[in-house]
Structure formats: C-alpha cells, structure tokens
C-alpha cells in the first residue's frame, strides 16, 4: 500500500507535472495510509512529497475502533486470515454486509422489509449507491489491517510497523494536518480520530462535522445540510475540546478551503493528461467503476 501505492503515485505525479509536493487527502483507512506514507519518507530520510495532509474520518490510534470493535478479537481474526489466505482476497460483499450489520435497523432490516417483503423500489440516493459499491481487498493488506492495526494497534508505537526494513515513527512527521471527523460516525469515532493528531509531530487543525461517516464528509457547501464545530484552543481531552467549540452552520469544506489555500500555491494553466511514459488510458471515470461484484 505504501511503496507500490502512495509513494509510487506521488512519484508519477512529479514525473508528469514537475510538482515535487502535493496536498494530500486520505479518507478513512486512506488517511491511515497517508500518515504511514509520510512516516516512511522520514524513515528513509527522503524529502516528503506531502505538503499538507488532510485526514477525513481517519483512525490512527486503533485503541477504540468504534462499532467494528465487536469483530476485533483473536478467534474472529484467525478465521478471517484463514479465509483470506485461501482465496487470496477478502470479498467486498462480505465487507458491505459487515458494515450494514453495524447499523442493522437502518442499513439492513429496513431494506429487507421495505424492498424484499413489501416489494417497494428503493429511492434514488447517490450516497447509498456509492456505499454499496464494494471492492475486494488483497489478503495481505486485509490481514495486516486486522492484526497489526485493529488488534495490536502497532502504528502508534514507534518502529513497531516496518516497511522495507525501516520502522515508522509518526512523531517525526512534521507536515501540517487537517482532521475532519463527524459526530455520528460509528466507524471512526470522532474523538478517536482526533487522538490521531497527538501522534503526529506537525501542527494539526481539528474540525468536527455533523452527521456520519459518509454523509457528514460529502456534505457539499452548495447545500450546507450539516454544520461544523471548531476550537483552536489547547485542550487536555476531547470533552474539553467539545465544550469550548464554536458552531458554524456552513459545511466544513469551507473551513478546509481556508486552511489549505496557503499550501495550494499559484494557479497554473490546465495541464495535458499524462505524458509519453504515462499515457492516458481512457476518459474518467474509466471502466473499473462499471465492474460489479454482485
């Protein structure tokens, strides 16, 4: 995920555009990957290609993994590892069912009753359509996430996680970061998400949005359906931070735009897509999004 994924992507970006740094965004486990990638740059004594880091509903400290904690124990993880190693991947359909059962009344039984028993057609809802777009996960990645992160919580311990023989130490990451968490998130609890900032060495900005893991993050500024809370004062615990917050009725995206603008640099003309070494394959969004697991 780190060397063949994030590091390679940033290298190719530089080759195509000439830009040596990027303002990076990581959503959910993608944010965990973003933090680990920066720690890898430091461990390799390489210049980081990440100018600013935005963490959306991200867990770095897995001590309290929210509702998923009911599945985090040795027998369950042993069983999943056996299944993953047998097939070489974790089926995205199983992952979708797992997350649905965490909110069984609204994400499982509701559709069983209304659609299957009553025969009603589900209403068009872009977020639920996106939410049902499952992806298979390679066995090695899924096993690592379950055991090393969720069960053993190794990422927050200096040098416990090693990539290509070098240990990762989050405290050496000095990149400025922006954490956006949401109040009703049951996958990445907002206070757990904010605790991740304690392990990074750079300056962090924390914003708490309304709603949950998906709707609270998507929340386009054009609608301003959900507001957000901010607090720049120092705090000893997340309750103290919440008690001192200021509420804003607009989407958190506006707060993020103001934060990231100083790191954005000057505008440049639209670039040609790809280059001779990395030619464009096809127009976005590509054929991959048409592949269906069901």
Measured CA to CA, the distance from residue 24 to residue 26 in angstroms comes to 7
Query: What is residue 67's three-state secondary structure?
Result: helix
Contact (CB, 8 A) for 35 and 196 = yes
24 tagged catalytic: no
Contact (CB, 8 A) for 293 and 93 = yes
Measured CA to CA, the distance from residue 121 to residue 111 in angstroms comes to 10
End-to-end CA distance of the chain: 26
Phi/psi region, residue 182 (left: phi>0; alpha: psi -120 to 50; beta: rest), is beta
**DSSP conformation class of 9:** H
Helix or strand holding residue 162 (H, E)? strand 162-163
Q: Any bridge partners for residue 228, and if so which?
A: 209, 248
Half-sphere CA count of 81, side-chain side, radius 13 A:
14
**Catalytic-role residue among 2, 6, 28, 145:** 28
Measured CA to CA, the distance from residue 178 to residue 209 in angstroms comes to 13
Half-sphere CA count of 152, side-chain side, radius 13 A:
12
Strands 166-167 and 162-163: antiparallel
Measured CA to CA, the distance from residue 173 to residue 44 in angstroms comes to 12
Positions annotated as catalytic residues are: 28
């Amino acid at each position: 995920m780190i060397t063949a994924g994030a590091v390679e992507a940033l290298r190719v970006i530089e080759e195509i555009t000439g830009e040596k740094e990027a303002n990076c965004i990581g959503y959910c486990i993608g944010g965990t990957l973003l933090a680990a990638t920066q720690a890898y740059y430091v461990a390799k004594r390489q210049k980081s290609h990440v100018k600013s880091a935005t963490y959306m509903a991200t867990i770095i400290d897995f001590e309290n993994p929210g509702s998923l904690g009911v599945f985090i124990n040795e027998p369950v993880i042993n069983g999943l590892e056996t299944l993953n190693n047998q097939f070489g991947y974790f089926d995205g359909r199983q992952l979708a069912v797992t997350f649905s059962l965490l909110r069984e009344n609204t994400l499982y039984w509701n559709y069983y009753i209304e659609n299957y028993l009553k025969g009603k057609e589900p209403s068009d809802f872009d977020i639920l359509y996106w939410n049902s777009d499952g992806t298979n996960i390679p066995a090695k990645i899924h096993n690592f996430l379950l055991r090393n992160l969720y069960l053993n919580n190794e990422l927050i311990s200096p040098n416990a996680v090693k990539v290509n023989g070098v240990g990762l130490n989050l405290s050496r990451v000095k990149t400025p970061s922006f954490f956006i968490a949401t109040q009703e998130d049951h996958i990445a609890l907002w206070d757990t998400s904010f605790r991740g900032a304690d392990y990074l060495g750079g300056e962090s900005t924390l914003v708490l949005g309304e709603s949950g893991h998906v709707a609270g993050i998507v929340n386009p500024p054009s609608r301003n359906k959900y507001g957000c809370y901010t607090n720049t004062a120092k705090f000893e615990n997340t309750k103290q931070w919440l008690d001192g917050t200021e509420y804003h009725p607009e989407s958190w995206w506006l707060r993020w735009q103001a934060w990231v603008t100083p790191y954005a640099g000057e505008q440049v003309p639209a670039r040609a897509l790809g280059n001779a070494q990395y030619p464009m394959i096809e127009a976005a969004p590509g054929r991959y999004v048409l592949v269906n697991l069901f």
